[in-house]
Amino acid sequence: MRSVAVVIQPGFAPFEFGLACEAFGLDRTDDGIPNFDFRIVAPDPGVVPSNIGFSVNVERGLDAAADADIVVLSPIPREQWASVDPRVIEVVRAAHARGAWLLSVCSGAFVIAASGILDGQRATTHWRYADVMARMYPSIEVDPDVLYVQSGRVITSAGTAAGLDACLHLLRQELGAELTNRIARRMVVAPQRDGGQAQFIASPLPVAPSMSLAPVTEWMLQNLDAELSVDQLASRAHMSPRTFARRFKADLGATPAAWLARQRLLHAQRLLEETDLGLDRIAAECGFGSAAVLRQNFARTMGLTPTAYRARFSCADKVPAAPREAVPA
């Protein structure tokens, strides 16, 4: 049983708080997903007001987070950024010292920043607050363009829905890709979103989403083991390379190369979980070329080696995977 403690304070944001409840607090054992020992805690148990006019009654104090495997920091109001409750800071430091996961949503990153454990590390928060955080904590590398950042066992996320992306990222590392995909399906959300906050910063939305790239992205998914250049993909989309790259970034929130790299990693996760193929074969199937390149990309993104990932999440003896059918070029 893994335990999760969500810390809320006066002025908390209900939606972001609800994301943690949705990700970790629901009983999904009917779908083969293990339960978390889920706790909601507050510095002062009792009635805790939200930022939109209603309150929740929190029965447990911060002592209930003392042995939690995952501690989630909900957003705090702007007036608390420069004076974070020292009791909460101590919870953060203690969790970090014992090797627990720490995850912040939106301005919850200011709580972790105040503890000092992000000094010299990379982090993020909502793009509207990134400059403030960078000024308050110059020793932290604040990245305003990403949905979330993992530094060791500390995950900071951007605003609102990006908190769910961060929760799913953590769940993938605790439960594996297959179970996390089941959770995402239950939520009716994508298991992983591409792109970053730059998609949402003062940029006009297209009048209608383009469907012209759907056949190309489907073909890319069926040919992950092939060398796929922008020129080749643009030709299949009947566009110039420059137009294709611009349209792809606008529609999918990532460059063709970044999107393709993410899909290759996802396929590698599936093969590591569901087959007993060797790393050289998996690297070839996913388009990495060699096991060394697979190891490098996998470890950089996932924080553990392919071998360690397979040891933790392999279900090859339970769910035989059918070979992937490649669509001829």
Q: Domains in the chain and their CATH numbers?
A: 2-187 (3.40.50.880), 204-329 (1.10.10.60)
Contact yes or no for 74/7 (Cβ under 8 A): yes
| Strand 2-7 to 36-41 pairing | parallel
Instruction: Identify the weakest region by mean pLDDT among 130-144, 190-204, 216-230, 274-288.
Output: 190-204
Please report the pLDDT score of residue 198 as a whole number: 54
Does the pLDDT value for residue 82 go beyond 80?
yes
Does the pLDDT value for residue 22 go beyond 90?
yes
CA 237 to chain centre: 30
Q: What is the mean pLDDT of residues 172-201?
A: 78
Report how far residue 169's alpha carbon sits from residue 190's, in angstroms, rounded to the nearest whole number: 12
Does the pLDDT value for residue 200 go beyond 60?
no
Return the higher-pLDDT residue of 324 and 194. Answer: 194
Quick one: CA dihedral 163, 190, 262, 237, positive or negative?
negative
Contact yes or no for 156/144 (Cβ under 8 A): no
Please report the pLDDT score of residue 195 as a whole number: 60
Mean pLDDT, all residues of the chain: 88
Please report the pLDDT score of residue 323 as a whole number: 40
Contact yes or no for 7/91 (Cβ under 8 A): yes
Neighbours of 134 (CB within 10 A): 16
Neighbours of 229 (CB within 10 A): 12
Q: Per-residue confidence at 312, pLDDT binned at 50, 70, 90? A: confident
List residues bridging with 5 in a β-sheet: 39, 71
Q: Per-residue confidence at 206, pLDDT binned at 50, 70, 90? A: very low
Quick one: CA dihedral 81, 82, 87, 93, positive or negative?
positive
Contact yes or no for 309/302 (Cβ under 8 A): yes
Please report the pLDDT score of residue 209 as a whole number: 40
